Structure 1
Amino acid sequence: MKVHSIKLNFIMNFLLTASSILFPLITFPYVSRVLGPTGTGNVTMGTSVVSYFTMVAMLGVPTYGVRVCARVRDDRIELSRTVQELMIMNIGMMVLAYIAFFITILCVPSFSVMKTLYFVSALAIVLNVIGVNWLYQALEQYSYITMMSLLFKVVALILMFTFVHQANDYIAYALITVIGGFGSSIFNFIRLRKLVDLRPVGNYDFKRHIRPMFTFFAMTVATTVYTNLDVVMLGLMRSNYDVGLYNAAVKIKTIMVSLVTSLGTVLLPRISYYFEQNKIQEFHALVSKAFSFVLLLAIPCCVYLMVFAKDTILLLSGESFLEAIPAVMVITPTILLIGLSNITGIQVLVPTGRESLVLRSVVYGAIVDFVLNMCLIPVFGAAGAAFGTLMAECVVFIVQLFYLRDMVKEIVQHLEWRSLICSFAPALLVLVGVWCSPIQGVFWRLLVAGIAFFGVYGIGLIFNKEEIVMSVIGKYLPKRGG
Structure 2
Amino acid sequence: MKKTFLNILYNAVYQIFLVLVPLITVPYLSRILGPKTYGIYSNVNNIVQFLMIFCTLSVSYIGMRTISQTRAFGNQQELTDAFWGLWYFQALAGLVTIILVVAVTSFCHLKYGNYLLLMVPYLISAQVDISWFFQGLAAFGRVVLKNTAVKLVSVVLILLWVKQPGDLWKYMLIMSVSTMLGSFVFWFDIHRYVGGPVKHFYKYQTTIKAIITLLIPQIATQIYTSLDKPILGLFQNSTQVAYYDNSQRISNMVLGIVTSISLVIMPKMAGEGKKEQRVILKKSLEATVMLGTMFAVIIMANTKEFVPFFFGHKFIPMTPLMFFFALTIVMIPTGGVFANQFALANHRDRDYALPVIIGAFLEVILSYFLDRLYGATGAMVAILITEFIVLLLRLWIVRDGYDFKYSFKEIPKYLLISVIVLAVGMILPPIVSSAFFNMVIKSIIMFLLYVGLMFLMKLDFNQDIIMLLKRFFTRG
SS at match of 1:226: helix
TM-score, normalised to structure 2, is 0.92
> Which letter does structure 2 place at the counterpart of 1:147?
L
Q: Which sections of structure 1, spanning at least 5 residues, go unmatched?
A: 478-482
1:292 corresponds, among 286, 291, 294, to 286
TM-score, normalised to structure 1, is 0.91
The 8 Å contact of residues 37 and 245 in structure 1, kept in 2 or not, is answered as yes
Equivalents in 2 of 1:442, 1:176: separation in Å?
Answer: 31
**Alignment partner of 1:323 is 2:317:** yes
Q: Deviations along 1:329-375, whole A, 9 cap, x unmatched?
A: 33221111101111111111111121112211111100110011111
Quote the residue 1:52 is aligned against.
50
Q: For residues 466 and 149 of structure 1, do their structure 2 counterparts lie closer, same or farther at Cα, with a shift above 3 Å needed? A: farther
2:246 corresponds, among 245, 248, 262, to 248
**Alignment partner of 1:89 is 2:83:** no
- C-alpha displacement of 1:414: 6.0
2:63 corresponds, among 62, 65, 87, to 65
Q: For residues 368 and 78 of structure 1, do their structure 2 counterparts lie closer, same or farther at Cα, with a shift above 3 Å needed? A: same
The 8 Å contact of residues 56 and 90 in structure 2, kept in 1 or not, is answered as yes
Q: For residues 384 and 185 of structure 1, do their structure 2 counterparts lie closer, same or farther at Cα, with a shift above 3 Å needed? A: same
Quote the residue 1:220 is aligned against.
218
The 8 Å contact of residues 81 and 201 in structure 1, kept in 2 or not, is answered as no
The 8 Å contact of residues 293 and 415 in structure 2, kept in 1 or not, is answered as no
Quote the residue 2:439 is aligned against.
446
> Which letter does structure 2 place at the counterpart of 1:79?
L
Quote the residue 2:474 is aligned against.
none
2:188 corresponds, among 187, 190, 197, to 190
Equivalents in 1 of 2:334, 2:202: separation in Å?
Answer: 37
- C-alpha displacement of 1:212: 0.5
After TM superposition, the structure 1 = structure 2 runs for residues 359-438 of structure 1, keeping only pairs within 5 Å, are 359-410=353-404, 412-413=406-407, 415-417=409-411, 420=414, 423-424=417-418, 427-434=421-428, 436-437=429-430
Greater shift after overlay, 384-393 or 399-408? Answer: 399-408
SS at match of 2:271: helix
Q: Which sections of structure 2, spanning at least 5 residues, go unmatched?
A: 471-476
Q: For residues 57 and 444 of structure 1, do their structure 2 counterparts lie closer, same or farther at Cα, with a shift above 3 Å needed? A: same
Quote the residue 1:480 is aligned against.
none
Q: Deviations along 1:376-416, whole A, 9 cap, x unmatched?
A: 11222222112111111112111121112344544645643
Q: For residues 211 and 284 of structure 1, do their structure 2 counterparts lie closer, same or farther at Cα, with a shift above 3 Å needed? A: same
Greater shift after overlay, 8-17 or 198-207? Answer: 198-207
- C-alpha displacement of 1:462: 4.0
Equivalents in 2 of 1:116, 1:348: separation in Å?
Answer: 42
Equivalents in 2 of 1:281, 1:340: separation in Å?
Answer: 21
Q: For residues 234 and 177 of structure 1, do their structure 2 counterparts lie closer, same or farther at Cα, with a shift above 3 Å needed? A: same
The 8 Å contact of residues 427 and 457 in structure 1, kept in 2 or not, is answered as yes
- C-alpha displacement of 1:320: 0.9
- C-alpha displacement of 1:38: 1.9
Q: Deviations along 1:21-51, whole A, 9 cap, x unmatched?
A: 2111121111111111122222222211112
- C-alpha displacement of 1:100: 2.3
Equivalents in 1 of 2:107, 2:230: separation in Å?
Answer: 17
Equivalents in 1 of 2:211, 2:99: separation in Å?
Answer: 21
Equivalents in 1 of 2:97, 2:200: separation in Å?
Answer: 27
The 8 Å contact of residues 43 and 171 in structure 1, kept in 2 or not, is answered as no
Greater shift after overlay, 340-349 or 413-422? Answer: 413-422
The 8 Å contact of residues 331 and 388 in structure 2, kept in 1 or not, is answered as yes
**Alignment partner of 1:282 is 2:280:** no
Equivalents in 2 of 1:418, 1:233: separation in Å?
Answer: 36
SS at match of 2:189: helix
The 8 Å contact of residues 55 and 90 in structure 2, kept in 1 or not, is answered as yes
The 8 Å contact of residues 330 and 383 in structure 1, kept in 2 or not, is answered as no
> Which letter does structure 1 place at the counterpart of 2:97?
A
> Which letter does structure 1 place at the counterpart of 2:39?
G
1:459 corresponds, among 452, 458, 463, to 452
Computed over aligned residues only, the root mean square deviation of the Cα atoms, in angstroms, reads 2.4
Quote the residue 1:36 is aligned against.
34
Q: For residues 54 and 420 of structure 1, do their structure 2 counterparts lie closer, same or farther at Cα, with a shift above 3 Å needed? A: closer
Equivalents in 2 of 1:203, 1:295: separation in Å?
Answer: 40
Equivalents in 2 of 1:413, 1:48: separation in Å?
Answer: 36
Q: Deviations along 1:402-452, whole A, 9 cap, x unmatched?
A: 112344544645643476367546534431331x44754432331121011
Equivalents in 2 of 1:366, 1:46: separation in Å?
Answer: 20
Quote the residue 1:471 is aligned against.
464
- C-alpha displacement of 1:108: 5.3
- C-alpha displacement of 1:322: 1.4
Q: For residues 101 and 4 of structure 1, do their structure 2 counterparts lie closer, same or farther at Cα, with a shift above 3 Å needed? A: farther
The 8 Å contact of residues 60 and 215 in structure 1, kept in 2 or not, is answered as no
Equivalents in 2 of 1:418, 1:298: separation in Å?
Answer: 14
Q: Deviations along 1:186-233, whole A, 9 cap, x unmatched?
A: 111232222211232658542221000111111110100101111111
SS at match of 2:285: helix
Q: For residues 235 and 423 of structure 1, do their structure 2 counterparts lie closer, same or farther at Cα, with a shift above 3 Å needed? A: closer
Equivalents in 2 of 1:42, 1:260: separation in Å?
Answer: 29
Greater shift after overlay, 465-474 or 96-105? Answer: 465-474
Greater shift after overlay, 238-247 or 417-426? Answer: 417-426
